[in-house]
A and B are shown apart, each in its own frame.
Chain A
Amino acid sequence: MSNRQPPVLEIDNLRVEYPLANGGLFTAVENASLIIQPGEIHALVGESGAGKTTIGNAVMGLLEKPGRIASGSIHIGGKLLDPTSGSADGVVLGRDVGAVFQDPMTSLNPLFTVESQLTETLRTHLKMDRAASRVRALELMKAVGIPEPERRLKAYPHQLSGGQRQRVVIAAALSCDPTLVVADEPTTALDVSVQAQILKLLRDLADNRRIGILLVTHNMGVVAQIADRVTIMHRGKVVESGPTAEVLRHPKAEYAKALIGAVPRIDMRLDRFPVVGEEAKGRAADAREAIRAKAFRADATIDGSEILSVENLCVDYVTSGLIPGSKGHRFRAVDNVSFKVRSGEVFGLVGESGCGKTTIANVVAGLVKPTSGRVLYQGKPVAGEGGIRRVGPLRQAIQMIFQDPYSSLNSRIRIGSILAEPILFYRLAPSRAEAESDVAQLIEAVGLDADSAGRYAHAFSGGQRQRLSIARALGARPRLIVCDEPTSSLDVSVQAQILNLLKDLRDATGLTLLLISHDLAVVRQMCDRIAVMKSGKLVEEAAAEALFQSPQHPYTQELLSLVPTLDRIRGETEVA
């Protein structure tokens, strides 16, 4: 690091406020300070609402109205940012400061070619002519590693993959040789393998071009992999800041400790996640016991016998054309997949997006009809070609919880009614009053107060909603719950709580879980056996420990090697 150069970014005691309609003030960021030197990647981490994105926006002068910088200062390359205009003298957004946003799918204008979106920046800031800017755009495309750059330049965003789009976004951010790049969750929307490539690209840019990068993220693994320094934020305040290895290995602040502790580990299996302020156990445990007593009938067994059998499952999707009348494309989402789930176990299904794992979950839950093959539950077919009607206990036995806690509860219906629905529908309670007491029990069993029944979904946080979603699934007294990415929309600390809850419930009631996830660490913490999927096919199936310790299939090996984890911290074990 050169000492003659001023830091590319210096934030000092920044305070960002949002005036509210009721006359009050919302402080999004308080007393935040950080410094980024050239060639340094500085990670800003925290859970949602921590204020990390607000800092990023403040640096770029893109604070959403009516937010304002109330006090403190931002220096970019030594120049002071004017808090009212959001710009600094001699510092031009787009030329000196580049930006990379989270979702490459929406960051590029769908109506313009890649070339036009790259060259417009060059022509604006560097006053290049058409030919020169085209040459430069081509260089940039090569620099960010896009294959066939000439052809891709003429392409429209929709013709590129997600990773390629994010590379284009980065190319646009780099186009005028900025000294600072603000990257806001640049890999969150990407698959692990693409994420690894993008992270490597960012690291190279910092190392080779001496660009300072402000990396806003929630993913500790990403931080560990590429950041030089890290700042942890919580509710608008900086709780800890320092070199990455030091902060991650030896966090000092309570919150930092809890946050790092909650990150699921891929290197070893823990019994439970360490959680900040563990919930009161008494009532919940009682409720779970009561549920177990009701749910388990005489025929129920937890003997490790086969409960679910997926046989030669194939699912095709026909995408209909946007224009009425045009023929759509046929796409095989699940290709001849077979596996068995044993009673009482947690079976994990992992893979990258689009690998078909969610489709399988939907088939098992009865939401999607298979094209061929079948699914047996305790030897009885529950899904097959042409659709099989599930009746009574068969339908009741398999329930599902979903990824997005915000859409999985109907916002127009009271929680009590939502939870009572399966109970009343399956006639599990003789009277409405009884159903209500069952609902209260369910709510307590997932660790919430029984009076939640009278409220609507919007009164609850994401984690609480996911608990309610679990309670609804439990209400049907199922034997098998399909969990489709149950925690991927949640912050790590909440994720830890929910995963703990699922574990506890499983232990208490002997449920079987089919867990769908893209997160290998989560799967490792939760599952007894795991199947790995790629492009609709099942590539490997093994007991959890065996899979993680000695993966057999090259794809599994690759996946495991790419996951950014806390145990591989930059500077300690260099990832080439």
Chain B
Amino acid sequence: MNTLASPNLIMRIGAPISVMLAALLALVIVGCALLAGWLAPYDPTDLSTFELINAEIPPAFTADGDSRFLLGTDNQGRDLLSAMMYGARVSIAIGGGAVLLAASIGVFLGLIAGYFGGRIDALIMRIGDVILSFPTILLALLVSGIARALFPQAGTAEWAPLILICAIAIHEWVQYARTVRAATMVETAKDYVKAVKVIGLPGRRIMLRHILPNVMGPVLVIATINLAAAVLTEATLSFLGVGMPPTYPSLGTLIRIGNEFVFSGIWWIALFPALTLVLLVLAVNVVGDWLRDRFNPKLRVKR
């Protein structure tokens, strides 16, 4: 038994400043996104509020800027700042939704597979293997393509986020399932689970009340990292033309649109949304990394 455990554990309390800053940054971006309805100067999703005549006005701080549009306007005359706030909201909603859905499915199936083992475990894991045989982006492309063909409304502002969430989550749940399964197997073998089994609690209750709280640590860590990945996947799907409709742009859609203007000197349409996305993903990743290092039992000194 290692006598050095206690000092090292105490050492690990508290997050470094970089993590604090990252968390703050993430909070600011998420806050702006969530409160876009109140904070944004314009509603970029209301077609009647923007005029083509205002298109491609540079940011206010440049020589040709217009004080009405702090970060300039896009190619349709939308206020870029507002579009970014709403876009971040869409991106975060899709990313968050996808992570939530994937985590829910993954945790549920992972618990079942890990707790019961045997055939049901094999079945769930093989399904996961098959799904992992498709790269994320390809599977998402397929799902959204098929959804669009099946439901003509799938490309509309109301439905597209749901389709995108499903398209991303259908691949990502496997990761959660694998992690939760492994953790569940470890927990199930622990004595406290045996103890409640001896008492005779039903499996459902053991899984939900006793095992679930103990396997959520790694799930949270994967979730933070995946949130960033999901936002990026949505952006890439948007680049490939199956993202949000142009009347309700996400950050990814904005970048995709702005990407077409890279050579034309209209740099702000791509730059600001890309910067926001990078900062958001960066912040979430920094926090996620820190969480991972902190909650990874392997990285902690053994008891």
Stretch at the interface among A17-25, A91-99, A443-451, A568-576: A17-25
Does A411 touch B at the CB level, under 8 Å?
Answer: yes
Given A367-B198, A390-B200, A413-B210, is A21 in contact with B11 using a C-beta cutoff of 8 Å? yes
Contact B3 A21 (CB under 8 A): no
Contact A425 B200 (CB under 8 A): yes
A1-35 vs B, Cβ < 8 Å mask (1 yes, 0 no): 00000000000000000111110001010000000
How many B residues face the partner with a CB closer than 8 A?
Answer: 32
CA distance A51 to B2 in the complex (A): 9
* A50 surroundings in chain B (CB, below 8 A): 3
B271-303 vs A, Cβ < 8 Å mask (1 yes, 0 no): 000000000000000000000000000000101
Stretch at the interface among A197-205, A206-214, A334-342, A400-408: A400-408
Q: Which of B6, B122, B194, B201 contacts A421 (CB 8 A)?
A: B201
Does A384 touch B at the CB level, under 8 Å?
Answer: no
Distance between A445 CB and nearest chain B CB, rounded to angstroms: 18
Q: Which of B6, B7, B14, B198 contacts A365 (CB 8 A)?
A: B198
CA distance A239 to B8 in the complex (A): 26
CA distance A419 to B276 in the complex (A): 50
Distance between A208 CB and nearest chain B CB, rounded to angstroms: 31
CA distance A20 to B7 in the complex (A): 6
CA distance A406 to B4 in the complex (A): 17
Given A22-B10, A413-B210, is A402 in contact with B194 using a C-beta cutoff of 8 Å? yes
Contact A412 B200 (CB under 8 A): no
* In the complex, number of A-B residue pairs with CB atoms less than 8 Å apart: 99
Contact B10 A366 (CB under 8 A): no
Contact A407 B3 (CB under 8 A): no
Does A324 touch B at the CB level, under 8 Å?
Answer: yes
CA distance A76 to B194 in the complex (A): 49
Does B192 touch A at the CB level, under 8 Å?
Answer: yes
Contact B192 A409 (CB under 8 A): yes
How many A residues face the partner with a CB closer than 8 A?
Answer: 48
Nearest A residue (CB) for B196 = A421
Contact A400 B200 (CB under 8 A): no
Does B199 touch A at the CB level, under 8 Å?
Answer: yes
Contact A402 B11 (CB under 8 A): no
CA distance A396 to B200 in the complex (A): 8
Given A21-B11, A404-B191, A412-B214, is A399 in contact with B3 using a C-beta cutoff of 8 Å? no
Q: Which of A20, A400, A408 contacts B10 (CB 8 A)?
A: A20
* A410 surroundings in chain B (CB, below 8 A): 192, 210, 213-214
Distance between B87 CB and nearest chain A CB, rounded to angstroms: 38
CA distance A399 to B201 in the complex (A): 13
Contact B195 A469 (CB under 8 A): yes
* B14 surroundings in chain A (CB, below 8 A): 21
Q: Which of B3, B196, B197 contacts A49 (CB 8 A)?
A: B3
* A399 surroundings in chain B (CB, below 8 A): 198-199
Q: Lowest 4 A-B CB distances belong to which pairs?
A: A408-B191, A402-B191, A18-B7, A412-B213
A18-B8, A410-B213 given; 4 more Cβ-contact pairs under 8 Å: A64-B4, A402-B191, A410-B192, A413-B210
Q: Could you list 11 examples of A-B contacts with CB < 8 Å? A: A51-B3, A53-B3, A54-B4, A64-B8, A66-B11, A362-B194, A366-B198, A399-B198, A410-B210, A413-B213, A422-B199
Binding site for B on A (CB under 8 A): 18-22, 26, 28, 48-54, 64, 66-67, 324, 362, 365-367, 390, 395-396, 398-400, 402-404, 406-413, 418, 421-422, 425-426, 469, 472-473, 476
